[in-house]
Amino acid sequence: MEIVRPGSGCSPVRPRQGRAARRLAAVVAAAVVGALLVTWTPGPAVAGASAFDEARAAFAAGRVAEAAAKMERHLRAAPNDPLGLLWLGVIRLHLRQGPEALRLLARSATLRATPDAYFWMGAAYAAMSHNREAYQALAKAAQLAPASDVGARARMWMRRLRVTSVRIASTYENPEEYYRIIRLFNPTLSRPTQVAIVHSLLHYSYKYRIDPRFVAALIVVESGFDVHARSPAGAYGLGQLMPATWQSLGIDPADPVGNIYGAVRWLRGLFDRFGEERYDLVLAAYNAGRGAVARHGGVPPFDETRWYVLNVLGLFRQFRGET
């Protein structure tokens, strides 16, 4: 997350009654059908393969069934093309055909072990609620491309998969609920550090009128409760504060209390600007900046930002007992 300016300070979001429990597959399916897929471009077109190019163009235009038919025609002529198999697998996943998508993606990975192939294998497994296999495939994608956007999205989704059973629906002000999440992600933290994190998370969330479950979901996705997490861009700590932010606030980003204070202050300013219920725009601005949200009139069309918003919102809803 790349904060560039400090914020200022949401009426408390009261816990809602949990809806009928739905599996993580529903969240994953929504993500797969969303804008992430229509902007996905895993590689250049195969030279001279007109059916392949036509399939990609149809998919980008939202004509998914046509895209599937044209990609199948391409694969009849080139049955061992790993990129064609990868594309058809993603198209089948878009059509909610999980088992067939998984077969195609696994074959693509066998022919050419690319991060994209393993990433979408993880998506296919997750869509079928095979979370263990999804985690393993995403871990392989992250291993193959540790510094790429695909690797970053894979690690983000892996953190999301680790907390699929956690709910904080009716006891969201109970510190023990947050200790449980911290221990899940970073069991090596000392007890005093855990206490500092939980107490500051609840204190500043209350002070700046933000649901602490939202702040906890953001920290899970940003850093996995790694106090010393650092991004290549220089973001640091639990909330991944950028230098301009922590310097303007006069805080030490390695101090968990100061880091949470800075993150919550910035969130408060974003809620004031975009509205108390506009979690999507607040998260997009936290990730990509307020200017990017303003320029695009909503969540920017960046894969990383859209994936970030989906993951934090999905986790927040889960914590509230809505998924």
**Nearest of 72, 62, 65 to residue 33 by alpha carbon:** 62
Catalytic hit among 2, 222, 304, 322: 222
Angstrom distance (rounded) from CA 136 to CA 103: 16
Catalytic: 177? no
Structure-block tokens of residue 173: 């002000």
Three-state SS string across 209-240, please? CCCHHHHHHHHHHHHCCCCCCECCCCCECCCC
> b/e string for 109-139 if b means 16 or more Cβ within 10 A?
beeeebbbbbbbbbbbbbbbebbeebbebbe
**Nearest of 154, 178, 156 to residue 166 by alpha carbon:** 178
DSSP 8-state code for residue 241:
B
Structure-block tokens of residue 280: 């999507």
Angstrom distance (rounded) from CA 222 to CA 236: 10
**Active site amino acids:** 222
